[in-house]
Amino acid sequence: MTLRPLLLLAAAALVSTAGAATVEQRNYSKLLRQGPVKAALKYLRDDDARTLQEQIELTQIPAPPFKEAVRAQEFAARLRTAGLQDVSMDAAGNVIGKRAGTKGGALLVVAAHLDTVFDEGSDVTVKESNGRYHGLGIQDDARGLVALLSVLRALEAAKIRTEGDVWFVGTVGEEALGNLRGVKALFAAHPGIDGFISVDGVDSPEDAAAGRSHVVTQATGSRRWEFRFSGPGGHSFGNFGNPSAVHALGRAIAAISDLKPPADPKTTFNVGVATGGTGVTAIAAEASMLVDLRSNDADELRALEASVLASVDAAASAENAHWNSTALEVERKLLGDRPASTRIDDPVMADAVVAAHGALGLKADTGFASTDSNVPLSLGIPAATLNGGGRGDQAHSPDEWYEHVNAWRGPQVLLLTTLRLSGVSGVSKPALVDRARAR
């Protein structure tokens, strides 16, 4: 997940109404007065150095697309060491650690993704220079994984029991063509999940210095397609008149380029890769392209996709018609499907995460991005994606870097949000609704 480029900030706004914000401020003030909560927050700050070492260690365990198993096993072992006994791996490869609540109420999942975007064989050695740590995936999402471990240790050390169950989950397949397969499998197998928090990425240096974080409370949906044109080919002179796969591809790209999706809700398209042909003297028998479609609105995404599919079919038909042929064909393959949100910000989740930042003297802006939270948001389940703490940049590139500055802030926000949503036994009721009981 590359958070910053995708995020559309809600115009300098908190999503809470003034009344709701006041209620949440009182809730967090009560939590902050509790001795165990104070102890847990202090633990997270004291645990800061350990999280950096863990972050480096996990970064140096390769987790390329579809091959996250080794890192998953290590994460599972660390969950057990941190205090969980019920830790397992599901059929998709997700690691699930269950921490039982005292009343068996609403179920909250806190998650970070195990995979990186980098191919097998990439050098995952972490190198430090002047306090800056360079490593593939060190912020996206090794930082999220260690934030979960630190919060779990804090809960155990402070002996805090939540009313609702809390699951600590490492997901697979968040990045690129992983297609959110891990979190999709999680919700398919466990429809009783009532809330979801993803911890993914870190703040930019500018935002970290300003004490401001970006919180994802809405999902940017995407559809990714491969289109492959195929025809008879032939010699450029001797077989002139045969339809060309490259020419059809060009027609399709031109038609897609002329589309004008709405600016609001933001809706975009991109032909990212185009290939085809074998030589300058050969009529291309094959040509293909990869197309990325995105929108902050599910209906607009469907409308854009329909236009693109029609443009591709029309391009193939036009190339055939131009040469009075029926020989050229086009095949389509859906490579990625990330659902968009189904409604505006959920007030329970949005109010809780924004107020948690405020309780710690931080600011939070809310907006859109494409993360593991897409799946629960598309199902109408309260969800948000938070930062893991620290600062960095250049995620998804060989120059990805991380600085361990005020990094405990991320786990502290996660801890308070978790306690607010799940409730604290003998202290506060959960903000999350147990959907099964509410029916």
**Residue 19 pLDDT:** 56
What pLDDT band is residue 21 in, cutting at 50, 70 and 90?
Answer: low
Strand runs (DSSP E) across 54-180, as ranges? Answer: 86-89, 95-99, 108-113, 127-129, 132-134, 166-171
- CA pair distance 354, 198, nearest whole angstrom: 15
Whole-model pTM? 0.90
What pLDDT band is residue 3 in, cutting at 50, 70 and 90?
Answer: very low
**Residue 20 pLDDT:** 56
Place of tokens 């077989």: 239
**Residue 345 pLDDT:** 67
106-126 burial string, b = 16+ CB within 10 Å, else e?
bbbbbbbbbbbbbeeeeebeb
- CA pair distance 70, 324, nearest whole angstrom: 56
Model confidence pLDDT, tens digit, residues 308-326 = 999 999 999 999 999 999 9
**Residue 104 pLDDT:** 80
**Residue 1 corresponds to which tokens in the numbers above?**
């997940």
Percent of the chain exceeding pLDDT 90 equals 88
- CA pair distance 78, 263, nearest whole angstrom: 45
Taking a C-beta distance cutoff of 8 angstroms, is the pair 401, 251 a contact?
Answer: no
The residue type found at 60 is Q
**What proportions of the chain, in percent to the nearest 5, are helix, strand and coil?**
35, 25, 40
Q: CATH 3.30.70.360 in the chain: give the residue spans.
A: 221-337
Taking a C-beta distance cutoff of 8 angstroms, is the pair 364, 122 a contact?
Answer: no
CATH superfamily of 3-220+340-438: Zn peptidases (3.40.630.10)
**Mean pLDDT value across residues 171-179:** 94
Model confidence pLDDT, tens digit, residues 53-95 = 999 999 999 999 999 999 999 999 999 999 999 999 999 999 9
Angle between helices 142-157 and 48-59 (to 10 degrees): 140
**Mean pLDDT value across residues 270-287:** 98
- Neighbour order of strands in the sheet with 329-338: 267-276, 286-295, 221-230, 329-338
Among 432, 410, 411, CA closest to 421 = 432
- CA pair distance 349, 384, nearest whole angstrom: 7
Average pLDDT, rounded, for the chain = 93
Percent of the chain exceeding pLDDT 70 equals 94
Task: Select 221-337's CATH number: 3.40.50.300, 3.30.365.10, 3.90.650.10, 3.30.70.360.
Answer: 3.30.70.360
**Mean pLDDT value across residues 413-420:** 98
**Residue 5 pLDDT:** 38
What letter would DSSP give residue 351? H
Place of tokens 């590359």: 2
- CA pair distance 365, 213, nearest whole angstrom: 6
Q: Cis link prior to 141 (omega < 30° from 0)?
A: yes
Q: CATH 3.40.630.10 in the chain: give the residue spans.
A: 3-220+340-438
Model confidence pLDDT, tens digit, residues 24-53 = 889 999 999 999 999 999 999 999 999 999
User: Within a 13 Å sphere around the CA of 288, how many CA atoms are in the beta-carbon half?
Assistant: 9
- CA pair distance 399, 230, nearest whole angstrom: 38
Model confidence pLDDT, tens digit, residues 191-248 = 999 999 999 999 999 888 888 899 999 999 999 999 999 999 999 999 999 999 999 9
Low-confidence winner among 8-17, 121-130, 207-216, 283-292 (lowest mean pLDDT): 8-17
Give start and end residues of each alpha helix (H) in 136-215. Answer: 142-157, 181-189, 205-209
Model confidence pLDDT, tens digit, residues 107-160 = 999 999 999 999 999 999 999 999 999 999 999 999 999 999 999 999 999 999
More confident residue, 345 or 422: 422
Max alpha carbon distance in the chain (Å)?
86
**Residue 439 pLDDT:** 60
DSSP conformation letters of 386-400: E--SSEEE-TTSTT-
**Mean pLDDT value across residues 330-355:** 90
**Residue 353 corresponds to which tokens in the numbers above?**
């995460």
**Mean pLDDT value across residues 361-384:** 95
User: Within a 13 Å sphere around the CA of 143, how many CA atoms are in the beta-carbon half?
Assistant: 35
